[in-house]
Chains A and B, each alone.
Chain A
């Protein structure tokens, strides 16, 4: 039934939103496509499974998975971006891709390539209303995605740190001249982005109750598409794009079947880019106003 599918689509979209925001932050502020984000997403998902399986209380498992994600993202910054900031754009891009492969293979070596079932410590996590079913982790992912984006936007627009981040996004040297410690601010961007990606991976593990070493890649492609559909570097664009892709995916399964998912999702991407190359909320003015 259609209402249920719409709900599922929005919930799935919530996860894409988190990943798209993670991408759009490093693109918007540092002009850097961080390919390690799918790896961070996967690590958080896998650690949710590992910790729950070890019998850790769910709240600690969630905190642990997020901490692993943030730490992994910081590691990427320390080893790639902080060294290669001054070099050509493709160097940090390629090395962040190296980290994705490294993370995937570390998990592969440790836990194998099988699909692992996440056993939830709760018996029934569904809310039923009439004939509609909403699972709590799904509802949580959508609510959290929207709330975090609102909080992130407030941070960027209303705080001194946000002004500094926007200054770095426009011109890092000018920000430096005004006394902004750029080298101290960049790790913060990676940690915030890493937390968004990790939250997405953790919620994915709880929602779909399965994890595997390559779970990040497919989601990341949708996340990047969401970012592009919405408009690069625009946080609300990431939200709109993520929800649109989630809905498209679920509805194409509903009306056709699972084989058509990629056809419609990437078809949508192409159609939108054809009519609005800068994305739905992307700047079409000369002065680009980000976020």
Chain B
């Protein structure tokens, strides 16, 4: 299941280092179109660094990232967004000096073809009615859950084929976490591929088709949720 020819996203031996500190030491993973793939691991396992190098926010020291069969340039995010990748960053990163609607509109920045942008905006509002109510207010007035909806809606405005999320459940109440994962499942049912970095292993394994477990920058296990649970790999990675 790993490096199939029709993989939407594929990393090959990606290495990320900050100075002399190595965060990711050769991780290969793939996401096939239509999948939800989870990347799991304890704090400092290198999950976020891997995601950032896939997205071009940090330049990998080695290895390659391919999207839709084409290698991606090392340090350029706007080409990725234009190619169909979108990231919901850790901590949501809502722009509070912009209104809710402006945050969403900015999501279309790299779209060459703006036709349908209005319809997409209405579709987001239909999905998240709270955002529509506050469309002209500063994004700082939103609650934590609404901010996460805005961050996801903003990423969807780019019409991605692969949505990547970095710790989306962080700081949300259990009820909101449930709603969030239900939303991801629904988006996936509508055809969106998802790469999910999560600390909430239990929830992530409920929706993921496959998962990779990272430990100290290396991939120590991969497989379907059933395989990983049966082999006890998850407990090993977290409890050592």
Kindly identify which residue among B77, B78, B97 contacts A288, using a CB–CB cutoff of 8 Å.
B97
Q: Which of B168-212 contact A (CB under 8 A)?
A: none
**Of B78, B81, B93, most A-chain CB atoms within 10 Å:** B78
CA distance A175 to B87 in the complex (A): 12
Q: Which of A142-195 contact B (CB under 8 A)?
A: 160, 163-164, 166-167, 169-171, 173-181
CA distance A180 to B107 in the complex (A): 9
Kindly identify which residue among A160, A170, A177, A289 contacts B55, using a CB–CB cutoff of 8 Å.
A177
CA distance A174 to B77 in the complex (A): 11
CA distance A246 to B231 in the complex (A): 78
**Interface pair B57/A177, CB less than 8 Å apart:** yes
- Is B109 on the interface with A (CB-CB < 8 A)? yes
A2 contact set on B, CB distance < 8 A: none
**Interface pair B105/A177, CB less than 8 Å apart:** no
**Of B81, B97, B102, B138, most A-chain CB atoms within 10 Å:** B97
A289 nearest CB neighbor, chain B only: B97
A interface, over-half SS: helix
CA distance A181 to B108 in the complex (A): 13
A289 contact set on B, CB distance < 8 A: 97, 138
| Residues of chain B at the chain A interface (Cβ within 8 Å) | 55, 57, 77-78, 80-82, 87, 89, 93, 95-98, 102, 105-110, 138, 140, 154, 158
**Interface pair A177/B87, CB less than 8 Å apart:** yes
**Interface pair B109/A174, CB less than 8 Å apart:** no
Instruction: Give the distance to chain B from A165, nearest Cβ to Cβ, in Å.
Output: 11
**Interface pair B95/A171, CB less than 8 Å apart:** yes
**Interface pair A163/B78, CB less than 8 Å apart:** no
Q: Which of A271-291 contact B (CB under 8 A)?
A: 287-290
**Interface pair A173/B57, CB less than 8 Å apart:** yes
**Interface pair B138/A287, CB less than 8 Å apart:** yes
- A-B contact list, 10 entries, CB within 8 Å: A160-B106, A164-B109, A166-B97, A173-B57, A174-B95, A177-B77, A177-B89, A180-B109, A181-B78, A287-B138
**Interface pair B77/A167, CB less than 8 Å apart:** no
**Interface pair A179/B82, CB less than 8 Å apart:** yes
Kindly identify which residue among A178, A287, A290 contacts B106, using a CB–CB cutoff of 8 Å.
A178
A288 nearest CB neighbor, chain B only: B97
B138 nearest CB neighbor, chain A only: A287
B109 contact set on A, CB distance < 8 A: 160, 163-164, 178-180
B106 contact set on A, CB distance < 8 A: 160, 163-164, 167, 175, 178, 180
**Interface pair A287/B95, CB less than 8 Å apart:** no
B138 contact set on A, CB distance < 8 A: 287, 289
